[in-house]
Amino acid sequence: MRICVYCASSQECDPLHHETAYRVGQLLAEAGCTVVYGGGSAGSMGAVANGALAAGGEVVGILPRFMADLEWGHPGLTRLELVEDMRERKHRLLTGSDAVIALPGGCGTLEELFEAITLKRLGLYFNPILLLDTQGFYRPLQTFMEQVIDQRFMNTEHLAMWQLVEQPEQLLPTIRATPRWREDAREIAVVRR
């Protein structure tokens, strides 16, 4: 499996996030998964890559050229692919992935996550999207999305587009147990009465 991991570069967050990211990379590699992520060396990004590499895994980084110019790329990856901009990066991360895992992160992580959810709503992405809810990080987002649905900006069926899991060890079993998203996604994309 090719697993897209969205994660942060912050080195100032609680170190537990880096430890958890390392464990995610390690578990994915031990299961024979290819990790595809943003290509950075710092924070949770570096930790997920390091965890996978230490376990002998394949790690593909997708990095915009301006970030490579700033030497933000991880030097030890299986493959580092340089792209022109953030838009191409997001497209390449998601294309061909068998699942998405979003670790806690900032606006970049959230932007990537919401793009994946939007594409799933529109029937352009059909695979599992998991949010790793370390220390309850994604609980407020879950509550907010329930409000979005309660106020009729999305349909109740859309709550099934993503899942929260609390521990890294739950990720792969949840991915394997999650069915492909509905083929009629476009029929329910628009809010109806």
Asked if the structure places residue 121 within a domain, the reply is yes
170-184 confidence digits (pLDDT tens): 999 999 999 999 999
Please report whether residue 148 resides in a domain: no
With tokens 């994915």, the residue in question is 28
Please check whether residue 169 lies inside any domain of the structure. yes
Four-residue CA torsion sign, 71, 73, 77, 79: negative
User: Residue 2: how many CB atoms within 10 A of its CB?
Assistant: 15
Helix axes 15-30, 43-54, angle to 10 degrees: 30
Q: Say yes or no to pLDDT of 36 above 80.
A: yes
Has this prediction a pTM greater than 0.95?
yes
- CA 119 vs. chain centroid, Å, equals 13
- CA 6 from centroid of its chain's CA atoms: 3
pLDDT of residue 46: 98
- Determine the Cα–Cα distance for residues 192 and 113; give it in Å rounded to an integer: 24
Encode pLDDT of 71-97 as tens digits. 999 999 999 999 999 999 999 999 999
pLDDT at 162: 98
pLDDT band at 193 (very low <50, low <70, confident <90, very high): confident
Distances in whole angstroms, Cα of residue 112 to Cα of each of 54, 55, 101, 116? 26, 26, 11, 6
CATH number at residue 109: 3.40.50.450
Q: Determine the pLDDT at residue 92.
A: 97
Task: Say what the pLDDT of residue 27 is.
Answer: 98
Q: Check pLDDT > 80 for residue 28.
A: yes
- Residue 126 inside a domain? The answer is yes
pLDDT reported for residue 124:
96
What is the percent of the chain with per-residue pLDDT over 90, rounded to a whole number?
98
Question: How high is the mean pLDDT of the chain?
Answer: 97
What is the model's pLDDT at position 192? 82
Helix axes 86-94, 107-121, angle to 10 degrees: 50
Domain count for the chain: 1
- pLDDT, tens digit, for every residue of 51-78? 999 999 999 999 999 999 999 999 999 9
H or E element in which residue 58 lies: strand 58-64
Query: What range defines the domain where residue 24 resides?
Result: 2-136+162-186
- What pLDDT is attached to residue 10? 97
Domain membership flag for residue 42: yes
Identify whether 108 is part of a domain.
yes
State the pLDDT at residue 145. Answer: 98
E strands, 116-179, are 129-132, 163-165
Dist CA 94 CA 138 (whole Å): 21
Instruction: Classify residue 91: in a domain, yes or no.
Output: yes
Question: Is 157 part of a structural domain of the chain?
Answer: no
Residue 149 has pLDDT above 80, yes or no: yes
* pLDDT over 80 at 131, yes or no: yes
